[in-house]
Amino acid sequence: MKIGIIGPQLSGKTTIFNALTSAHAKTSEVFAHKELNRGVVKVPHPKLLKLAELYTPKKITPIEVEYIDVAGLVSETKEKKSEGEFFAHLHEVDALAAVIRTFKKESVVHPCGSINPQRDLENLYTDLIIIDLDIADKRVSKLERTVKLKKSEEEQRELEILKKCKTSLEQGIFLSELQFPAEEEKLLRGFCFLTLKPVLVILNIGEEDIRTAQNLEKEFEKNLKTKRKMVVALCGEIEMELIQLEENDRIPFMQDLGLEKSALNKVIETSFKLLDLITFFTANQNEVRAWAIKRGSTALKAAGTVHSDMEKGFIKAEVVTIDKLLQYGSTHKAKEKGELKLEGKDYIVQDEDVILFRFNV
């Protein structure tokens, strides 16, 4: 899973990137030359380690999330020529994390002169819409020329779909808010439109607002009409300091501050909800591993996630919930208790299933 961190200048993108990835990327009080930061995070899942205790595997592999801290939106890019390069990085992500400042700090001057999160978010949305409009525009002009020359039904159809996109973007409507039949959605995927991606709004709050973060989230959520957008409020600066502490020192600090979860846990949890993902596990003496998959996926799809051979040669899936497996201590015992189920390819994978795939090669 890849998430692109975007937002206005000096909203705390790099600070939050550091808080999430334990990196030490340079933050700045004034708008500096932008650079791209990339970091991979291993998603902490306490049950994965418990599962590993049962198998003592050679390898424990958590789910990985890659964060890209990328500036380069219209309002942040002074030099036009670098735009393409930065946008290309955004097109590859599964979701956007929009960092919006609410923290007050005099030494950091807001590029618009005042703190106004709603305005910043609107501006950011406009930036995303402008980028998508540009993509749609270019393709529409090209298609208009080619369909005149040769009457291709396929291209005519594409033109209609893109015109529909254009109209909606011109009205300020995100493409994620439109309904597309599966076939059109597939076509649109090729364009990597930014407004088709789910958005996680990260409110970068001041330390004084940590205890009321939940109220802020709720208040802000009211303005995000659709399910494809969600909000978390966190204090980037504090979270960055916390992540740099030893794990044992972290907990008393968090309790002091009134923090129940780390920024990483909060962001991951919300990202999973936003992308409608669940976790399943595979386990043997070689490797105990967690995987992310879309909610509602079949056992066959899950097999394909692990290995294409498993999908091709799929026979059966042996499934047990991780809680039952941990309770009984082995698949053998779970089976005796009737908790290990034999499922076919159409079985819908449930969150925290442990799956053993039976397959032919």
Ligand X SMILES: Nc1nc2c(ncn2[C@@H]2O[C@H](COP(=O)(O)OP(=O)(O)O)[C@@H](O)[C@H]2O)c(=O)[nH]1
Residues at the site binding ligand X, with contacts judged by CB under 6 A? 7, 9-15, 27-29, 103, 105, 108, 204, 206, 235-237
Three-state DSSP state, 267: helix
Measured from the CB of residue 15, what is the shortest distance to ligand X in angstroms? 3
C-alpha 211/C-alpha 360 separation (Å) is 54
Q: Which does 103 bind (CB under 5 to 8 A by kind): Mg ion, ligand X, none?
A: ligand X
> Phi/psi class of residue 163: alpha, beta or left (left: φ > 0; alpha: ψ in -120 to 50)?
alpha
Using CB distances below 5 to 8 A depending on partner kind, what does residue 282 bind out of Mg ion, ligand X, none?
none
Q: Nearer Cβ to Mg ion, position 17 or 328?
A: 17
18 and 243 in contact (C-beta within 8 Å)? yes
11 touches which of ligand X, Mg ion, none (CB within 5 to 8 A by kind)?
ligand X
Smallest distance from the beta carbon of 82 to Mg ion, in angstroms? 15
Of all residues in the shown chain, the one whose CB is closest to Mg ion is 14
**Residue 204 in contact with Mg ion, rule: CB under 5 A:** no
What residue 326 binds from ligand X, Mg ion, none (CB within 5 to 8 A, per partner kind)?
Answer: none
Q: Rank residues 108 and 173 by Cβ distance to ligand X and give the closer one.
A: 108
Number of residues that bind Mg ion (CB under 5 A): 2
Report in angstroms how near the CB of residue 240 gets to Mg ion at its nearest. 12
Minimum CB separation of residue 48 from ligand X in Å reads: 30
Of 202 and 317, the one with the shorter C-beta distance to ligand X is 202
CB of 86 to ligand X, least distance (A): 13
| Bridge partner list, 291 | 280
We find the least distance from the C-beta atom of residue 184 to ligand X, in angstroms, to be 35
Q: Which is nearer to ligand X, 14 or 270 (CB)?
A: 14
Name which of 89 and 295 has its Cβ closer to Mg ion.
89
Footprint of Mg ion on 4-33 (CB under 5 A): 13-14
**Angstrom distance (rounded) from CA 161 to CA 167:** 10
Burial class of residue 61 in the structure, from the number of CB atoms within 10 Å of its CB (0-12 exposed, 13-18 middle, 19+ buried): middle
265-270 contacts: CB < 8 A, separation 24 or more?
Answer: 265/44, 266/232, 266/234, 267/20, 267/97, 267/200, 267/202, 267/232, 267/234, 268/41, 268/43, 268/65, 270/200, 270/230, 270/232
Nearest in space to 1 (alpha carbons), one of 96, 88, 83, 70: 96
If contact means CB under 5 to 8 A according to the sort of partner, which of ligand X, Mg ion, none does residue 12 touch?
Answer: ligand X
DSSP, collapsed to helix, strand or coil, labels residue 294 as strand
189: left (phi over 0), alpha (psi -120 to 50) or beta: alpha
- Is the Cβ of residue 63 or residue 254 nearer to ligand X in the bound state? 254
| Closer by beta carbon to Mg ion, 14 or else 298 | 14
Q: Confirm if 352 and 299 have CB atoms less than 8 A apart.
A: no
Q: How far is the CB of 289 from ligand X (least distance, A)?
A: 33
Rule CB under 5 A: which residues touch Mg ion?
Answer: 13-14
